[in-house]
């Protein structure tokens, strides 16, 4: 009997070292905007992404439509002060201009035909992907792609470096400030599980269909349309299809004859259980093709085919930060506010100022005011901040806090906060609230 040799996976024994002023883990929208904001302030910035391209859920899971809080006639209203006409969010403004230049998004937000949100922003996913590359390179952000976060290294209350696994083996990344933009608290969880808490995770399967023709009417499905540009009589379509008691939302894309479908998986998923995730992915893929066969009975989708499938099943987050402040919807609408050693929360119910957190440092720095909505957190760790979809809110508020403008504005403010701390040699946990 021939004895089989064991297969041994080898990595380089020598650990490479990279140093940067700011290290951002996660290349989604929040991570990208934080990165280019830090870089625009003159900080050497490194963005780490586990895939070979930036964009996060938009490019890996087609998390569309991205919602805008209220109806705007054009994008400038999202970042321009109405009274002074000044640009309040220059990075946000620049990002929109890049996307418009590359025709990755339409010239203005569309009213949502299905009324799930007030307005939506349809994306051309491939154009969005290379636009993110372009803006990161133009702002001279260093990129480390195909690199997965492994573990942190701490000294006291500071994060000194992180280990990531890249194509060439382990890499130690050292920095003065770190940003957890993973969307699932991966860095915080690895430091201390007391910093996070487990939450229910539901799988979603979003996929893109080609060969669709919304000019064909079919009274058997709920199909709604809006005229988005009267000068050229352009119409935007969306519809709802129900199968086995589950409703699926389908939105037209800027790509001709393409649309994106949204559905929910069954049951909860333990994101720490690899076998559970694997089984769920297989089950969802089977359901997708079963749904396509069902969909082809309707005239707009007679020739429909799967054009793009996500690089990953889109799971809602499995962990959230135990932040210094958090609000439930009842707290928000009863005008409740919190104050602690990090931030003062002020509530307003007007327009895009709906849920600002006002942060203002004490003493000689009291002229700095940075608004931070709930989707970002400062904690006791001196040089680590979280950005992205990790707020502690009720389900009925998620559609607002996960919206496109809020994600970008929050991240821009966090980037400015880091730059401020860097230039004044401050730890983030030394910035106190001024009531």
Average pLDDT along the chain: 78
Cα 29 to Cα 317: distance, rounded to the nearest angstrom: 16
Residue 374 pLDDT class (50, 70, 90 cuts): low
Q: Could you please report the per-residue DSSP string of 101-147?
A: HTTSS-SSPEE-TT-SSSEEE---HHHHHHHHHHHHHHTT-EEE-S-
Report d(CA 422, CA 416) in Å as an integer.
10
| Model pLDDT, residue 343 | 37
The model's pTM is 0.85
| SS3 labels along 308-371 | ECCCCCEECCCEEECCCCCCCHHHHHCCCCCECCCCEECCCCCHHHCCCEEECCCHHHCCCCEE
pLDDT of 347? 34
Helix 90-101 to helix 125-138 angle, to the nearest 10 degrees? 130
Mean pLDDT of all residues in 294-302? 94
Among residues 158, 424, 123, the alpha carbon closest in space to that of 251 is found at: 123
For residue 322, the tally of other CB atoms under 10 A from its CB is 17
The structure tokens listed for 403 are 């919206």
pLDDT at residue 231, as a whole number:
63
Q: For residue 152, what is the enclosing H or E element?
A: strand 148-155
Bridge partners, residue 249, by sequence: 240, 262
What pLDDT, on a 0 to 100 scale, did the predictor assign at position 4?
Answer: 56
Cα(124)–Cα(258) distance, rounded to whole angstroms? 10
- Of the candidates 366, 382, 352, which has an alpha carbon nearest to the alpha carbon of residue 433? 366
How far apart (Å, rounded) are the C-alpha atoms in residues 90 and 93? 5
Residues 200-257 pLDDT 10s: 787 887 889 999 999 898 888 888 898 887 666 788 999 988 888 778 889 999 888 9
Least confident of 185-194, 259-268, 401-410: 401-410
Band of residue 362 on the pLDDT scale cut at 50, 70, 90: very low
Q: How confident is the model at residue 356 (pLDDT cuts 50, 70, 90)?
A: very low
What span, in angstroms and rounded, lies between the C-alpha atoms of 374 and 239? 32
CA distance 222 to 238: 9
Q: What's the CA gap between 206 and 218, in Å, rounded?
A: 23
pLDDT tens, position by position, 97-134: 999 999 998 888 888 888 777 778 888 989 999 999 99
Residues 6+ away with beta carbon under 8 Å from 136? 32, 35, 36, 47, 54, 143
CA distance 82 to 407: 21
Coil, helix or strand at residue 204: strand
pLDDT at 350: 30
Question: What whole-number distance in Å separates Cα of residue 138 and Cα of residue 120?
Answer: 27
- DSSP states along 45-84: EEEE-SSSSS-THHHHT---PEEESS--SSTHHHHB-TTT
pLDDT by residue (tens digit) across 12-40? 566 899 999 999 999 999 999 999 999 99
CB-based contact 414:374 (threshold 8 Å): no
Using the Cα atoms of residue 322, residue 325, residue 327 and residue 331 in order, give the sign of their dihedral: positive
Would you say the C-alpha torsion 408, 410, 413, 414 has a positive or negative sign? Answer: negative
């Amino acid at each position: 009997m021939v004895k089989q040799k064991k297969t041994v996976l080898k990595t380089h024994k020598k650990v490479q070292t990279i140093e940067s002023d700011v290290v951002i883990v996660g290349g989604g929208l929040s991570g990208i905007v934080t990165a280019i904001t830090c870089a625009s302030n003159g900080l050497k910035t490194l963005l780490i992404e586990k895939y070979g391209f930036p964009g996060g859920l938009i490019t890996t899971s087609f998390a569309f439509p991205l919602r805008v809080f209220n109806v705007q006639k054009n994008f400038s209203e999202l970042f321009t002060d109405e009274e002074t006409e000044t640009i309040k969010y220059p990075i946000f403004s620049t990002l929109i201009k890049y996307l418009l230049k590359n025709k990755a998004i339409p010239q203005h937000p569309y009213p949502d035909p299905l009324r799930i949100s007030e307005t939506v922003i349809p994306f051309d996913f491939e154009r969005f992907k290379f636009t993110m590359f372009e803006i990161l390179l133009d702002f001279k952000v260093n990129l480390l792609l195909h690199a997965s976060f492994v573990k942190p290294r701490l000294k006291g209350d500071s994060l000194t470096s992180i280990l990531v696994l890249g194509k060439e083996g382990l890499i130690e990344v050292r920095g003065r400030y770190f940003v957890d933009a993973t969307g699932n608290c991966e860095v915080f969880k690895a430091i201390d599980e007391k910093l996070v808490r487990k939450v229910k995770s539901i799988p979603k399967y979003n996929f893109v269909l080609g060969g669709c023709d919304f000019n064909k009417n079919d009274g058997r499905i709920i199909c709604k349309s809006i005229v988005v540009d009267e000068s050229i009589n352009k119409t935007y379509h969306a519809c709802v299809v129900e199968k086995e008691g589950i409703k699926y939302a389908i939105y037209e894309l800027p790509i001709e004859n393409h649309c994106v479908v949204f559905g929910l998986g069954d049951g909860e998923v333990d994101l720490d259980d690899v076998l559970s995730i694997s089984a769920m992915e297989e089950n969802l893929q089977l359901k997708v093709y079963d749904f396509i066969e069902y969909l082809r009975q309707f005239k707009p989708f007679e020739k429909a085919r799967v054009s793009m499938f996500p690089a990953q099943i889109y799971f809602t987050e499995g962990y959230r930060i135990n932040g210094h402040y958090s609000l439930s919807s009842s707290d928000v609408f009863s005008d409740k506010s919190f104050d602690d050693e990090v931030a003062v929360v002020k509530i307003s119910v007007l327009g895009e100022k709906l849920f600002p957190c006002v942060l203002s440092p004490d003493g000689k720095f009291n002229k700095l005011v940075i608004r931070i909505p709930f989707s970002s957190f400062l904690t006791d760790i001196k040089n680590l901040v979280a950005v992205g979809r990790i707020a502690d809110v009720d389900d009925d508020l998620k559609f607002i806090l996960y919206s496109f403008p809020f994600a970008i504005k929050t991240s821009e403010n966090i980037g400015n906060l880091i730059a401020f701390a860097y230039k004044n040699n401050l730890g983030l946990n030394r910035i106190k609230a001024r009531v």
